[in-house]
Amino acid sequence: MRSDAMKKGLERAPHRSLFKAMGYTNEELSRPLIGIAHAHNEIIPGHIHLDKVVEAVKAGVRLAGGTPVTFATIGVCDGIAMNHTGMKYSLASREIVADSVEIMGQAHPFDAMVLVPNCDKIVPGMMMAMLRLNIPAVMVSGGPMLVGRYHGKDVHLVSVFEGVGRVKAGTMTPAELDELEDAACPTCGSCSGMFTANSMNCLSEALGLSLPGNGTIPAISAARIRLAKHAGMAVMNMFHEQIKPRDIATRKAFENAMAVDMALGCSTNTVLHVPAIAGEAGVDLDLNLFNEVSYRFPHICSLIPGGPHSLQELDEAGGVQGVMLELSKTETGLHQDVMTVTGAKLGENLRRAFVRDREVIRPVDDPYHSEGGIAILSGNLAPDGSVVKQSAVSEEMLNHSGPARVYESEEEAQEAILGGEINEGDVVVIRYCGPRGGPGMPEMLSPTSAIVGMGLGKSVALITDGRFSGGTQGACIGHVSPEAAEGGPIGLVREGDRIVVDIPNRALTLKVDETELARRKESWQPPAPKITTGYAARYAKMVTSGSTGAVLK
């Protein structure tokens, strides 16, 4: 056993003594030691209940003959960190999560691990660590929040962000917003909708690194606790069979996950996280592969915020396994010979899959959209690419041309939007918000929600070298690369320049001739760093482009 390095033999008597200081018995130390990495805290709704999930995992490990050993890592709530300095630390926290789990797994050589995250950067961070360590491991998340109800309608966190814009526009009263605020987030769990957390939890299941049901079983369901117990048992089987994460997360598995990404209409943040996770597995995913997969697999689930259906409805309809069963019927199909943490290959798992609701999971020959949910746009404004959640863009905004309204920060743009300075047809450009310039590529749910709340969602486009939330809807194009802080063309845009968005043809064009752009480039100077001390300053110096997953050098 790997753990023998810290517990077996005469020379390990001091080590055993330290274990016994914590109450471990010889019987427990004789069994496989299973590390349980979790991110339980009291600042994230998706993590407030993870202590109960962890207890269920521990029970499963013990049922299967292992000894569980828990430890914690950090977690940032993107919603609470939104639209202030805190958001500069959100994406950057992914690397800390990955590093901390790696450190614990190397300093204490566990025989296997179970990882228990739930929200935006914690899920991909733990998946990156799984693949770095490459010891038998299973991920089990805390599950999605239920939708709230307000005046007979389903509501969620983004409803509240949009409510701020509605109050400013005079279509909602402050008292109504107070009522909505109390109703929108009714339970623990990752925020209800196909936002980043739920996107990544669904993709962990599609990759085969978590058990069927991980992406969709509600946080408050008893089935979530049973799933956690089964995860504890599954990791023991993986230990005995020596099935490791890199045996599962192959290129074929990543292609399957990208197909599910397209079918569900996942967050644009998956375009950052999936390549970063793949890199840890030694799999190179070119950004253009997202377009290739998008052309091959249709968008068959219309989920909040771009559509009407909730994660709970998706779970009842058949969940991620049901979606994969349907995608297996496409012309190219899925790779069904890939291994999963069930100990069986995907094809065998799909024999137990089902689709109960054909409105929630559409047939592949009657999809919501013939192409997948995400598109990669390029052109002279984004030579290295940019990302849009095309499944959440209204028909009239798939092609758009308008004058640039240029802002050097999210705060400046938000003030202009809520101040009524943005007109129908405008293209709002928010720059110096990339991985280096942000720093940390801040997510911008506030301005996108304000645009919708102000009634401009079907007439105004937003473009940034930062990120848009998975809760975003509309013509919101993020990850523009190279970023402005690295001298990218987005840093050369001037007020009034015409920008053309052509999503069907995957193009993002600044209508300024090359001679003029070259002249502007000569006079361009990089801005001073926004943060000059601490982790964010170090991160800005080490981080790579959004087009390569914003990983550290």
Per-residue pLDDT of the chain (553 residues; tens, 9 = 90+): 999 999 999 999 999 999 999 999 999 999 999 999 999 999 999 999 999 999 999 999 999 999 999 999 999 999 999 889 999 999 999 999 999 999 999 999 999 999 999 999 999 999 999 999 999 999 999 999 999 999 999 999 989 988 998 998 899 999 999 999 999 999 999 999 999 999 999 999 999 999 999 999 999 999 999 999 999 999 999 999 999 999 999 999 999 999 999 999 999 999 999 999 999 999 999 899 999 999 999 999 999 988 999 999 999 999 999 999 999 999 999 999 999 999 999 999 999 999 999 999 999 999 999 999 999 999 999 999 999 999 889 899 999 999 999 999 989 999 999 999 999 999 999 999 999 999 999 988 888 888 888 889 899 999 999 998 766 778 999 999 999 999 999 999 999 999 999 999 999 999 999 999 999 999 999 889 999 999 999 999 999 999 999 999 8
Chain-centroid distance, C-alpha 470: 7
Own/partner long-range contacts of 81-86 (Cβ < 8 Å, ≥24 apart): 82/443, 82/445, 82/446, 82/469, 83/410, 83/411, 83/414, 83/444, 83/445, 83/446
Residue 2: predicted pLDDT: 97
CB 5 within 8 A of CB 109: yes
Q: Determine how many CB atoms are found less than 10 A away from the CB of residue 284.
A: 11
Among 534, 489, 535, 539, CA closest to 514: 489
Q: Could you give the count of Cα atoms lying within 13 Å of 200 in the half-sphere of its Cβ?
A: 33
Residue 157: predicted pLDDT: 93
Peptide bond into 439 cis (omega under 30): yes
Residue 272: predicted pLDDT: 95
The residue written with tokens 């029970």 in the block is 59
Residue 469: predicted pLDDT: 73
Residue 64: predicted pLDDT: 98
Whole-number Å distance between alpha carbons of 46 and 499: 39
Q: Dihedral sign, CA of 238, 255, 97, 38?
A: negative
CB 277 within 8 A of CB 208: no
Structure tokens at 514: 């090359």
Per-residue buried b or exposed e for 388-413, using 16+ beta carbons within 10 Å of the residue's own CB: bbbbbbeeebbebebebbbbbbbeeb
CB 428 within 8 A of CB 460: yes
Residue 170: what residue type?
G
- Among candidate residues 190, 469, 481, 547, the one labeled active-site is 469
Structure tokens at 227: 């799933």
User: Could you write out the DSSP letters of every residue in 224-277?
Assistant: HHHHHHHHHHHHHHHHHHT--HHHHS-HHHHHHHHHHHHHHT--TTHHHHHHHH
Dihedral of the alpha carbons of 223, 225, 228, 230, in degrees to the nearest 10 = -60
CB 227 within 8 A of CB 244: no
Percent of the chain exceeding pLDDT 90 equals 92
Whole-number Å distance between alpha carbons of 533 and 428: 30
Per the annotation, the verdict on 469 as an active-site residue is: yes
Residue 549: predicted pLDDT: 94
DSSP-assigned beta bridge partners for residue 401 = 500
Whole-number Å distance between alpha carbons of 438 and 123: 22
Among 393, 398, 401, 389, CA closest to 467: 389
Instruction: Phi first, then psi: give them for residue 418, nearest 5 degrees.
Output: -70, -20
CB 229 within 8 A of CB 54: no
Residue 449: predicted pLDDT: 84
Percent of the chain exceeding pLDDT 70 equals 100
Residue 471: predicted pLDDT: 67
Own/partner long-range contacts of 324-327 (Cβ < 8 Å, ≥24 apart): 324/206, 324/256, 324/260, 324/350, 324/353, 325/350, 325/353, 325/354, 325/355, 326/263, 326/300, 326/355, 326/361, 326/362, 326/363, 326/364, 327/259, 327/260, 327/263, 327/297, 327/300, 327/364
Residue 500: predicted pLDDT: 98
DSSP 191: P
